[in-house]
Structure 1
Amino acid sequence: MSVTTTRPVSPASSMTGSGYRTLWRWHFYAGLFVMPFLVILAITGTLYCFQPQIEPLLYQDRLIVEPQAAPRLSEDVLLNRARKAMPEGALSTTATINQDPARSAEFVFRLPSGEKQSVYLNPYTGELLGTLSVEHRFMQVDRMLHRKLLLGKPGELLMELAACWTLVMIGTGIALWWPRETTTLRETLWPHFALKGRALWKSVHAVLGIWLALGALAFVLTGLPWSGSWGKQFKALATSANLGAPPGSWGGLPMQSTLPGNHAEATPATTAHHESTMESMPGMTMDDLPLPTMPWAVGNVPVPRSRGDDAQGRFPLERVVALMASLGVARTSGYEIVLPASATGVYTVSYFPPDPKQERTLYIDQYSGSVLKDIRYGDYGAVSKAVSYGTSLHMGRYFGLANQMLCALISLGLAAMAVTGCVMWWKRRPARSLGAPGRERTAPPMRAWKAGLVFLGVLFPLMGTSMLAVWIADRTLFGRAAQRLGS
Structure 2
Amino acid sequence: MSTTMPASGRPDARSTHASGAAYPGYRTLWRWHFYAGLFVMPFLIVLAITGTIYCFQPQIEPLLYPHRLVVAPQATPRLPADALLARAQASLPPGAQAIRAHIEANPARSAEFVFALPHGNAPATKESVYVNPYNGDLLGTLDVDRRFMQVDRMLHRKLLIGKPGELLMELAACWTLVMIGTGVALWWPRRSVSPNATLRAALLPRFGAKGRPFWKSLHAAIGFWLAAGALAFVLSGLPWTGSWGKQFKALATRVSLGAPRGAWGGGLPLQSTLPGAGHAAQGEHGEHAGHDMASMPGMVMDDLPLPNVPWAVGAVPVPQSPEAAAQSADDSPAPTPARWTLDQVVAQMAALGVQSGYDIALPASASGVYTVSYFPPDPKRERTVYIDQYSGKVLKDIRYADYGAVSQVISYGTSLHMGRYFGLANQLICTAISLGLAALAVTGFVMWWLRRPARALAAPARERAAPPMRSWKAGLVVLGIVFPLMGATMLGVWLLDKIAFGRRETLSSS
If the length of structure 1 is used for normalisation, what is the TM-score?
A: 0.92
Shift in Å at residue 22 of structure 1? 0.1
Counterpart code for 1:186: R
**How do 1:451-470 and structure 2 match up within 5 A?**
451-470=474-493
Tell me: CA distance 1:379–1:244, structure 2 relative to 1, closer, same or farther (3 Å): same
Write the distance in 1 (CA, Å) between the matches of 2:127 and 2:365: 20
| Cα contact 1:296–1:387 (8 A) shared by 2 | yes
Counterpart code for 1:354: P
The answer to whether structure 1 residue 485 and structure 2 residue 508 are counterparts is yes
Shift in Å at residue 374 of structure 1? 0.8
Write the distance in 1 (CA, Å) between the matches of 2:459 and 2:503: 11
Counterpart code for 2:267: P
Shift in Å at residue 128 of structure 1? 0.1
| Cα contact 1:12–1:21 (8 A) shared by 2 | no
| Cα contact 2:459–2:505 (8 A) shared by 1 | yes
Shift in Å at residue 429 of structure 1? 0.8
**How do 1:52-451 and structure 2 match up within 5 A?**
52-113=58-119, 114-181=124-191, 182=195, 183-249=197-263, 254=267, 277=288, 279-280=290-291, 281=293, 282-283=296-297, 284-305=299-320, 311-331=336-356, 334-451=357-474
SS of the equivalent of 1:441 reads coil
Shift in Å at residue 326 of structure 1? 0.2
Tell me: CA distance 1:56–1:201, structure 2 relative to 1, closer, same or farther (3 Å): same
Write the distance in 2 (CA, Å) between the matches of 1:7 and 1:117: 61
Tell me: CA distance 1:241–1:35, structure 2 relative to 1, closer, same or farther (3 Å): same
5+ residue gaps, structure 1, are: 1-5, 258-274
Write the distance in 2 (CA, Å) between the matches of 1:278 and 1:311: 24
Write the distance in 2 (CA, Å) between the matches of 1:290 and 1:117: 11
Write the distance in 2 (CA, Å) between the matches of 1:327 and 1:276: 26
Q: How many residues align?
A: 460
SS of the equivalent of 1:14 reads coil
| Cα contact 2:481–2:487 (8 A) shared by 1 | yes
2:274 corresponding residue in structure 1: none
Write the distance in 1 (CA, Å) between the matches of 2:430 and 2:15: 39
Shift in Å at residue 73 of structure 1? 0.4
| Cα contact 1:457–1:464 (8 A) shared by 2 | yes
SS of the equivalent of 1:312 reads coil
| Cα contact 2:16–2:22 (8 A) shared by 1 | no
| Cα contact 1:249–1:255 (8 A) shared by 2 | no
2:4 corresponding residue in structure 1: none
Cα deviation code 1:424-455 (max 9, x no counterpart): 00111110000000011112110000000100
Write the distance in 2 (CA, Å) between the matches of 1:234 and 1:463: 15
2:278 corresponding residue in structure 1: none
Shift in Å at residue 279 of structure 1? 1.9
Tell me: CA distance 1:453–1:7, structure 2 relative to 1, closer, same or farther (3 Å): closer
Write the distance in 1 (CA, Å) between the matches of 2:49 and 2:178: 22
Write the distance in 1 (CA, Å) between the matches of 2:483 and 2:422: 31
Percent of aligned positions with the same letter in both sequences?
Answer: 69
1:261 corresponding residue in structure 2: none
| Cα contact 2:373–2:384 (8 A) shared by 1 | yes
Write the distance in 1 (CA, Å) between the matches of 2:379 and 2:61: 23
SS of the equivalent of 1:353 reads coil
| Cα contact 2:269–2:288 (8 A) shared by 1 | no
5+ residue gaps, structure 2, are: 1-13, 271-285, 329-334
Shift in Å at residue 12 of structure 1? 4.2
2:22 corresponding residue in structure 1: 14
Tell me: CA distance 1:176–1:130, structure 2 relative to 1, closer, same or farther (3 Å): same
SS of the equivalent of 2:127 reads strand
Write the distance in 2 (CA, Å) between the matches of 1:13 and 1:380: 48
Shift in Å at residue 277 of structure 1? 4.1
Of residues 56, 63, 67 in structure 2, which corresponds to 1:50?
56
Cα deviation code 1:254-281 (max 9, x no counterpart): 3699xxxxxxxxxxxxxxxxx9946244
2:3 corresponding residue in structure 1: none
| Cα contact 1:90–1:110 (8 A) shared by 2 | yes
Shift in Å at residue 172 of structure 1? 0.2
| Cα contact 1:360–1:377 (8 A) shared by 2 | yes
Write the distance in 2 (CA, Å) between the matches of 1:97 and 1:481: 63
| Cα contact 1:94–1:109 (8 A) shared by 2 | yes
1:268 corresponding residue in structure 2: none
Write the distance in 1 (CA, Å) between the matches of 2:373 and 2:315: 14
Cα deviation code 1:93-122 (max 9, x no counterpart): 000000100000000001012110000000
| Cα contact 1:108–1:118 (8 A) shared by 2 | yes
If the length of structure 2 is used for normalisation, what is the TM-score?
A: 0.87
SS of the equivalent of 2:261 reads coil
Shift in Å at residue 9 of structure 1? 3.8
| Cα contact 2:80–2:343 (8 A) shared by 1 | yes
Write the distance in 2 (CA, Å) between the matches of 1:372 and 1:304: 10
Counterpart code for 1:60: P
Write the distance in 2 (CA, Å) between the matches of 1:81 and 1:304: 29
| Cα contact 2:21–2:27 (8 A) shared by 1 | no
| Cα contact 2:16–2:509 (8 A) shared by 1 | no
Point out 4+ residue stretches in structure 1 off by more than 3 angstroms. Answer: 6-9, 275-278, 305-311
Tell me: CA distance 1:7–1:85, structure 2 relative to 1, closer, same or farther (3 Å): closer
Counterpart code for 1:440: E
Counterpart code for 1:459: V
Write the distance in 1 (CA, Å) between the matches of 2:17 and 2:355: 61
Tell me: CA distance 1:13–1:158, structure 2 relative to 1, closer, same or farther (3 Å): closer
Write the distance in 2 (CA, Å) between the matches of 1:8 and 1:25: 15
Write the distance in 2 (CA, Å) between the matches of 1:276 and 1:354: 34
Write the distance in 1 (CA, Å) between the matches of 2:349 and 2:117: 28
